Structure 1
Amino acid sequence: MTRHTDRRLKIGVCCASLLGYLVVGYWLQVRHGFIIGDSLARVSAAQSVLFSRDPHLAAIGFIFTPLTALVEIPWIALSPWWPDVTARALSGSAMSALFMAGAVLQILSAGIDRGLPRAYSLAVAVLFAVNPMIVFYGSNGMSEAPFIFFMSWAVRRLILWMADDDVHHLVTAGGIAMGLAYLTRYDAVACIAAAGLVVGTTTYLRARARPRLRRALLDLLMVSGPGTAAFLGWAVISWLITGEAFAQFTSQYGNAAILEQSGQQAPTFGTGVGFALACIFLMAPTLLPIATWALVRRRRQSRWQVLIVPVAIFGAALTFQALSYATGSTFPFLRFYIIAVPLTAFLAVLAVPDGMPAVVKRRGRYAPPPRIPDPGRHSRFAYLPVLLALAICVPFTAWGMSLPKYAPQEYALGAVLSPDPDSTSPRKALERRIAASFSTERQIARYLENLHLPDSSVITDTVYGFAILAASPRPQTFVVPSDPDVTALLNDPVDSGIRYLLAVPPTGRGRSDALNLRYPTLYDTGADIATLELEIPNDGDSQPNWRLYKVLDPAPES
C-alpha cells in the first residue's frame, strides 16, 4: 500500500509540474512574446533538421550540445499545422517543461528514498518547483531544465549507492544521467570528473581486500566513462563535420567570438568570483545554514559521507561556471548558477532525521550497515526550521531576478508581470524592448512569405537570422551556413537564382555574419550586387536593424 501511495504521489506531482510549466511557457512565449534568444536558436536548429533546404541531422549545429534540440524535433514536426511551435519557441517550452518536471520528481523521490515523512518530501519538492528561477527555466526552452534533471537524477542515484553499494545505481548515474548531461551542457564535464573522484575514492576506502585499487578504478570508469565517451564522441563528430572539435570555444559563432565581438571586458579574477558568489547567494541565501545543519546532524551519527555527493557534483558545476566567468570565457548571467537551487533542495532532504529507508533489492559487498531510523524523526521541530530556511529562497530569488546587474536575461520579466505602458522610465522602456525581442523578425518572415518566393531564394546567416527562419512557414526559402552549397551561392548570388540578401550591420556580432565576411560593404552600399529594397528598424533590445537587398538581375547573354 505504501509503495502504491508513493507511486501515485510521484505521478501526481510530476504531472502537475509538467502542466504548470507548460502553461507558464505558453503564457510567456505565445501570449506575450517573451522569448530567450538561445531558446529560439535551438528551435531553429531543430527545424533545420526537418524543414531546411537540405534536411540532415548535422544541420542541428555544433555550437550547442545536441540533446535539447533533438528532443524538440517531434514537436517541430507539428509546425506546419501549429506555427507557434517554432515561431514562438513552444517546442522549447515543451522540452524544458518535461525535464523540469522530471527534476521535481527526482527531488521528491530523494525524500521518499530516505523514508522521510511524505508531507516533508512533498514540501521540499514544491518549494523547489515554485522557485521563480525553476519556473522560468522550466518553461522557456533553455538547457537549464535538462541539465538540472540529469544532475539531480545522478545525485539521487549516487546517494542511494552510498547507502547500499548497488552497482545498478552507478550504471544509471554514470551510464545514462552523466552521459546525457554532457550532451546538454558543457559544464557537465566538471560534474563527471567530480563523480568519478567521489565514487573511486569511496570504493577504495570501503574495499579492504587486496584488489581494492582495481575495484575503485572499475567503479570510477563505470560512473565517469560514459560521460567521457560522450565528451570525446561529440568532439570527434564535430571535428569530422566542421573541422573544429570544440566549436563553442573556437568557432566564429562560439562564446569566445561573441565576447570579443561584443567588446565585453573580462573581469578581474576576484571580481568574477565575487559575482558568482553573489549569484549563488541570490538563488540560495540559506544554502550555507542548511548545509551546516546537515553536516552537524550527520556527524553525530557518522553518516556525513552522504553529503559529499550533492556538494561535490553540484559544487563542481558551480565552480566550473565561476572560474569560466572569472577567466573571461563566459557571460555574467544569473542562470549559469541555477544548479544552486537543486543543491539546496537535496541538502534539505539530508538535513533532517532519516526515516525507514526503502527496501534494498541488491545490497553490494561493501555496503555500510543498514540505517536505523532516528529516534527524533517524529518531532516537527526537526523539519520545520529546514523548510522555513528553504522557503526563504523563493522570495529572495524573485528579488534577485529583478536586478539587472545579476539577471540581465530575467529582469525584463517586469514588462510582463507588472506592465506599465505609460511609464517613461529608462528601466521600463528597456524592459519593454527586451520583452519585444524577435517581433521584428516575425514581421520580416511574414513579409517574405507574402512575396511567394521559390526555394533557395534568400540568403541569411543564423547569427541573427535564426528568429526569421523559426517564424517562417517555409524555411526552404532560405540559404543558411549549414547548407552544403552555401559557399557557391554566396560567391555568385546573381547567377545562382538568389533574389534577396538579408543584411545586418557589420558591427558587434554582425562581424561574424557570412554575408558581411564575403561582402564587407553589403549593408552600406549593396556591394554592387544588390539594391536596397527595405530597411527594417528593430523593436527588440540588442537586435540589429535589418536591410533587405534585392539581388541584381543577371546580365543578358550577348
Structure 2
Amino acid sequence: MNHGDILSRLPATSKLRPQKERRSIMELIYISKKESRVVFWTSLIFYLAVGALFNLYIYLGNGDALSRTANAYYVLYSRDPHLAAIGFIWPPLPSLMQLPLLPILKPLGLTVMAGPIISALFGAGSLVMLDVVLGRLKVPDKVRWLLLALTMLHPNYVFLCGSGMAEPIILFFILVVIWGYMQMPYGTRSWVICGAGLAAGFMVRYEALALILGVAIALVLVYWPESGDWRDEMEGRLLAVMVPPAYAVAIWLFLNWMVMDSPLYFLQSEYSLANATDIASNAGVTHPLFLAWNNIFYTISYTFKRLAQQNIAFLIGSVIVLLTAFVKRNRKMIGLLFILFSIPAFTAYQVFSGSLATWLRYWFYAIPYGAIEIGMLYRILQRRWRNLFVGLLVFLFIISIPISVNTMYSDENTGGDMQRLGAYLMHPASEPERRTSDSYYIFRHDAPILAAKVDEVSREGLVMVDANKSYYVILDAKHPERLMITNDTDFPAALQYPQGKVAYILIPEEGNVFSRTYPGIYDGAYDWAVMVYDFPDTLTKYRLFKISPQ
C-alpha cells in the first residue's frame, strides 16, 4: 500500500493527515522475512531441544502444562471420546492446538512432548513478533538483536518455552495486539489484528481480560478527541477492536452453559481457582503473600520485588518512559504503557485478594516488556539522553538474568520446578534433593508404576480414575479405553453408585473427588470398597480399591 492509499483511508477531518504524520508513515521500519526466519528457526530448534531434555530425560516441567495435554488426550483416546472432554475450567486453545500432534506422538511414546512442541513454536513466534515490534519502534539492528538474545536466553523464558506452558502462547497474542496498536490508524488491518489478538488471548489465559481493558483505555486516551466527529470515530474504533474479544467471551460463556449447565462454570466449579483453598490465608502469618493479603503497601512491595526478580529493566524503564511520555505529551506511548501494565496490574490484584500462588512464572511478562520499553525510548527521547538511558536499561536487563537464576535457587516460594532449574544452573549437586518438592517430577516418577497396575486390573473391568488429580496416570496407561474418568459423560452417575458399574477405583490419599463424595474411603470406611493394593514405591500415596458387585 503506498503513501496516498494510506492517507485516503483516514477521515477527512482527521488530524493524522498533516505532513508531519505523512513523514512518520514513511519512516516505519519493517523486518525482513529472512531475519524473521532466522529468529524463528534458531529459537525453535533451541526450545525443542530444551523441551526434549526437560521432559524426556530430567523430568523438569510443570503439572499445569501436563494437564492441558491430558485434556487434549481425553478428546481422542478416552473411553468416552468427545470434544467437550477437553474441559471447561481453563481456556481451551492450548489444548486444542495439541490435538493434531497426539496421533503422531502417541505411537512413538512421546505424548508428553505435545505441550512443549506448542510452547516452543509460540516461544519462537513471540521472538519474531518482538523483533517486529522493536523494528516499528525504530530500534537499531544491533540493539534489537541484543534484546532478542537476552529475552531468548532468559532462564525463566527458556523454561516456559520448553515445558509446554501457556505463557508463550498468550505472549504471542499480546505482541500481535501491540503490533496492531502501533499500526493504528493506518488502514483497517490494524484494528482487525488488534481485535483478533485479544480474542485469541482470552482463549489462552483469563488474564487477557485485563489486557482487553488496557487496550480499551489506550484507545480512548490516544484518539479522544481527535476531530469534530470524534464521538463517531471513537465508537467505530472501539467496536472494531472490542467486538472480537466480546464474541470470544460470549462463545465461552455459551459453551459452558450448554455443556455444563452454567455459563460461569469455569469460575464456579469445584476445580476452579474460585473454589481452591485460599492461598494467602493458608500460607502462614510470615509468608509474603499473607502479608500482602488485603494490604496495598505489601502488595505493591511484593509486586515490585517479583517483577525485579524477572527483569529490573522493566521497573526502571516504566518510570523513565512514563515520565518522558508525559513531558512530551506522547499519548500513543502512554497508551502502550497502559497495555503493558494491564496484566501485571491484574496479577497484583490477585496478590491483594489472596488468590495468587507463589510461582515466579506469573511475573514473566517483565522479560519481554523490558525489551519493549527500551524500544520505546527510541520513539520519545533525543539521542544524547536516549543513549544514556538505553545503556542503563540494557545493563539492568543483563544483570537481571543472574538475579533471576539466584531467585530460583534460593527462594523456596518460586515453585518446585523453578527451584530445580535454579539448582541445575547454580549448584547441580543439590538438585536431586529438591525432586520430591517438584510435583512434575513426582508425576513422571509415579505414572508408570500406577499405570502398569491399572492396566493389569482393567482386564477385569472398568477402573474409575479422578482425571483432575491423576491425569498423569491416564496419559501413561496403555489402555485408556478401560478407564472411567472424570471427563466421561456417565462419570457423575457412576460416582453416586459405583457398584455394578466399575470394578476398581484408584484413589490418591488427598484432594480427590472420591474422598469428597465418600469421606474415609481411602481408609477403608465402606464395605463395598476393599483395598487390594497399596503402592509402596510411589512418591504420592495411592491405594487401589476393588468394588464389590451389587
* TM-score under structure 2 length normalisation: 0.85
- Residue type of the partner of 1:167? T
The amino acid that maps onto 2:396 is: A
Alignment-mate amino acid for residue 444 of structure 1: L
In the other structure, the counterpart of 2:306 is 279
**1:401 pairs with 2:426:** no
- The equivalent residue for 2:117 is 94
Query: Which of residues 223, 228, 237 in structure 1 aligns to 2:241?
Result: 223
Q: Which residue of 2 aligns with 1:142?
A: 165
1:396-418 CA-to-partner distances (Å, cap 9, x unmatched) read 22222224344124112245446
Which secondary structure state, in structure 2, belongs to the residue aligned with residue 315 of structure 1? helix
Matching residue's letter, 1:548: L
Distance in 2 separating the partners of 1:318 and 1:406? 18
Mapping for residues 34-49 of structure 1, pairs under 5 Å? 34-49=60-75
- Verify the 8 A CA contact 1:67 1:183 in the aligned structure 2: yes
Q: Which residue identity lines up with residue 220 of structure 1 in the other structure? A: L
- The one-character-per-residue Cα deviations of 1:262-302 (angstroms, maximum 9, x if unpaired) are 972573222344322211111121223323444566667x4
Are residues 272 and 405 of structure 1, via their aligned partners in 2, closer, same or farther at CA, if it must alter by over 3 Å? farther
Q: Is the 8 A contact 2:321 2:376 kept in 1?
A: yes
What RMSD, in angstroms, separates the aligned Cα atoms of the two structures?
Answer: 2.8
Give the match for residue 484 of structure 1. Answer: 489
1:304 aligns with 2:303: no
Supply the AA of the counterpart residue of 2:268.
T
Change (3 A) 1:5 1:310: closer
In the alignment, the residues of structure 1 paired with residue 257 and residue 85 of structure 2 have an alpha-carbon distance, to the nearest angstrom, of 14
Contact 1:83 1:471 in 2 (8 A): no
Change (3 A) 1:378 1:203: closer
Give the corresponding residue for 2:8.
none
1:526-545 residue pairs with structure 2 within 5 A? 527-537=526-536, 539-540=538-539, 544-545=540-541
Q: Distance in 2 between matches of 1:314 and 1:406?
A: 25
Match of 1:169 among 186, 190, 195: 190
CA contact (8 A) 1:310 1:346 kept: no
Instruction: Classify 1:432/1:285 alpha carbon distance in 2 versus 1 (closer, same or farther; 3 Å).
Output: same
* Unpaired segments ≥5 residues, structure 2: 1-27, 284-288
Aligned match of 2:421 in 401, 413, 416?
A: 413
Q: 1:501 — aligned with what?
A: 505
Asked whether 1:443 is paired with 2:470, we answer no
Contact 1:38 1:142 in 2 (8 A): yes
Identity of aligned residues (%): 22
Partner AA of 1:279 in structure 2: R
Relative to 1, partners in 2 of residues 1:528 and 1:452: Cα closer, same or farther, differing over 3 Å? closer
Counterpart for residue 316 of structure 2: 289
- Of residues 249, 260, 277 in structure 2, which corresponds to 1:259? 277
User: Structure 1 residues 260 and 313, CA, compared in 2 at 3 Å: closer, same or farther?
Assistant: same
**Contact 1:460 1:515 (C-alpha < 8 Å) held by counterparts:** no
Deviation of 1:303 after TM superposition, in Å, equals: 6.8
TM-score (norm 1): 0.84
Residues 249-274 of structure 1: CA deviation (Å, up to 9, x unaligned): 31111113222599725732223443
Alignment of 1:3-22 (within 5 A): 6-22=32-48
User: 8 Å contact 2:448–2:476 — kept in the other structure?
Assistant: yes
d(CA) in 1 for partners of 2:538, 2:335: 47
Which of the residues 265, 269, 278 maps onto 2:294? 269
Provide the aligned length of Structure 1 versus Structure 2.
Answer: 511
Distance 2:251 2:302 in 1: 33
Question: Compared with structure 1, are the counterparts of its residues 134 and 303 closer, same or farther at alpha carbon in structure 2 (3 Å cutoff)?
Answer: farther
- CA distance in 2 between partners of 1:13 and 1:280 (Å): 26
Q: Distance in 1 between matches of 2:60 and 2:250?
A: 36
**What 5-or-longer segments of structure 1 have no aligned partner?**
355-373
- Match of residue 524 from structure 2: 525
| 1:530-557 superposed Cα distances (whole Å, 9 cap, x missing partner) | 32121125755xxx410011223x36xx
Quote the residue 2:7 is aligned against: none
1:131 equivalent to 2:154? Answer yes
- Are positions 1:331 and 2:338 aligned together? no
Look up the SS of the partner of 1:54 in the other structure.
coil
Amino acid at match of 2:419: Y
Deviation at 1:305, TM superposition (A): 2.5
- Is contact 1:197–1:220 with CA below 8 Å preserved after alignment? no
2:67, 2:281 → 1: CA distance? 22
Between the aligned partners of 1:246 and 1:538, the Cα distance in structure 2 is 40
Equivalent AA in structure 2 for residue 411 of structure 1: Q
CA contact (8 A) 2:54 2:60 kept: yes
The 3 A distance-change label for structure 1 pair 469 and 416 is farther
| Partner Cα separation in structure 1 for residue 383 and residue 29 of structure 2 | 24
Describe the shift of the 1:145–1:166 C-alpha distance in structure 2 as closer, same or farther (beyond 3 A): same
Deviations 1:413-436 (A, max 9, x none): 245446766x6xxx9634454263
Q: Which residue of 2 aligns with 1:516?
A: 515
Given candidates 458, 461, 465, the residue that maps to 1:460 is 465
* CA-CA distance at 1:184 after TM superposition: 0.6
Q: 1:109 to 1:523 in 2, by over 3 A?
A: same
Q: Distance in 1 between matches of 2:40 and 2:463?
A: 44
SS at structure 2 position matched to 1:436:
helix
| Aligned amino acid, residue 489 of structure 2 | P
Give the match for residue 548 of structure 1.
544
Amino acid at match of 1:269: N
Q: What CA distance in whole angstroms lies between the structure 2 residues aligned with 1:260 and 1:382?
A: 42
Counterpart CA distance in 2 for 1:92 and 1:313 is 28
2:29–2:135 CA contact under 8 A, matched in 1: no
Report Cα offsets for 1:363-383 as digits up to 9, x if no partner.
xxxxxxxxxxx9849997675
The answer to whether the 8 A contact 2:47-2:120 is kept is: yes
Retained in 2: the 8 A contact 1:35–1:437? Answer: no
Q: Distance in 2 between matches of 1:215 and 1:22?
A: 45
The one-letter amino acid paired with 1:259 is: T
1:274 and 1:428 map into 2 onto residues whose CA distance is 33
Post-superposition offset of 1:385:
3.9
In the other structure, the counterpart of 2:396 is 389
* Equivalent in the alignment of 1:359: none
In structure 1, distance between residues paired with 2:156 and 2:335: 23
Looking at structure 2, the residues matched to 57 and 389 of structure 1 have their Cα atoms a distance apart, in angstroms, of 47
Q: Contact 1:110–1:156 (CA<8 Å) still a contact in 2?
A: yes
Is contact 2:77–2:481 with CA below 8 Å preserved after alignment? yes
The Cα shift of 1:62 comes to 1.0
SS of residue paired to 2:225: helix
1:182-216 deviation per Cα after TM superposition (whole angstroms, max 9, x unaligned): 0111111011011012113322222x12x311210
Query: How far off is 1:481 after superposition?
Result: 1.8
Secondary structure of the residue that 1:245 maps to in structure 2?
A: coil
Match of 2:220 in 1: 200
Pair 32,433 (structure 1): closer, same or farther in 2 beyond 3 Å? same
SS at match of 2:442: coil
Residues 75-90 of structure 1 aligned to structure 2 (within 5 Å): 75-85=101-111, 89-90=112-113
SS in 2 for 1:479: strand
Aligned partners of 2:278 and 2:355 also within 8 Å: no
Distance 1:212 1:3, change over 3 A: closer
2:6 matched to which residue of 1?
A: none
2:267 aligned to 245, 249, 254, which one?
Answer: 249
Structure 1 residue 167: deviation in Å?
Answer: 2.8
Give the SS at the match of 1:527.
Answer: coil
Distance 1:415 1:531 in 2: 43
| Alpha carbons of structure 1 residues 93 and 56: separation in structure 2 relative to 1, 3 Å | same
CA distance in 2 between partners of 1:488 and 1:90 (Å): 34
Task: Determine if contact 2:123/2:168 at 8 Å carries over to the other structure.
Answer: yes
Residue 66, structure 1, aligned to residue 92, structure 2: yes
